[in-house]
Homo-oligomer: A and B are copies of this chain.
Amino acid sequence: VLIVGELINASRKAVGAAIETGNPVDIEQLAVRQSAAGADYIDVNAGMFVGREAEYLQWLVSVVQAVVDAPCCIDSPDPAAIERALHVHRGTAMINSISLEKARHDALLPLVAGSGVKVVALCMSDEGMPATAADRLTIAERLIEDLVRNNVALDDIYVDPLVQPVATRDDFGLGVLKAVDAVMTGFPGVHTICGLSNISYGLPERALLNRTFAVMAVARGLDSLIVNPLDRHLMANLTAARTLAGGDEFCEKYLDAYRAGLFDFEKNP
């Protein structure tokens, strides 16, 4: 399971403050800690700062890449901000995200077409948020076809079925699970990705719901997640799920994680 570490987000108080004051220390620490905890990509988001987002996003990429080898997931709805961030990025970035919303789509497509960057394809259109699994799949199909036609490799596409709160509608979780299954079965080579925290919005014990949903999604084929890699319970569940889903010969990865002490919190639950 590919892990995108979500913690460098301006909407988090300490991160917002670090960005505003131009103090790199907290940002560097979050990059290093997430990378050490297993993050394959470091998400950077400065969406809070209207007008200065492009400048701040570029700064975040520079600060992060000065201390870790992991590439960034550049998280913005603004093509101009993304372009500027890509300009200083080393290695293969991920862009989060393109969608079927016309303005966003048309402005972002030229940045993505034939560029070799990885792109999150968010299941959202100008008709609004998808309600059912079928709605999600319809948008996913159109996005995949569109991206492939524009010289984006299947392996560079990460479909995000758009997780919405299960407290709002009781089949929102199931809809995402079914959409993941349908995309992974119907479009071999394409990846699926999602953020988790929306699923538990408005409910108590959100970490329990988030990590349970992560495991359920992995069981249906999800191969990428935007999460907090410092959540040890979640990461332990994902390590176990990866082994249980097959392909961990002799359970070597699981045993390595055990020996590295990743499950030590289990002793005093």
Interface residues of A (CB under 8 A from B): 166-167, 170-171, 173-174, 177, 199, 203-205, 207-209, 212-213, 215-220, 233, 236-237, 240-241, 243-251, 254-255, 258, 263, 265-266, 269
Of the residues B173, B204, B249, B269, contact of A246 by C-beta under 8 Å: B173
Of the residues B167, B208, B237, B250, contact of A212 by C-beta under 8 Å: B237
Interface centre among A167, A240, A246, by most B CB within 10 Å?
A240
B208 and A244 contacting across the interface, CB-CB below 8 Å: no
Contacts of A263 in B (CB 8 A): 204-205, 208
Of the residues B166, B236, B250, B269, contact of A251 by C-beta under 8 Å: B166
Contacts of A250 in B (CB 8 A): 167, 170
Of the residues B166, B207, B212, B255, contact of A215 by C-beta under 8 Å: B212
Between-chain CB contacts (< 8 Å), 14 pairs:
A166-B244, A166-B248, A166-B251, A171-B246, A171-B247, A177-B219, A177-B245, A203-B255, A205-B258, A208-B237, A208-B263, A215-B216, A216-B218, A219-B220
Q: State how many angstroms separate the Cβ of A217 from the closest Cβ of chain B.
A: 8
A269 and B258 contacting across the interface, CB-CB below 8 Å: no
In the bound assembly, the distance between CA atoms of A250 and B246 in angstroms comes to 35
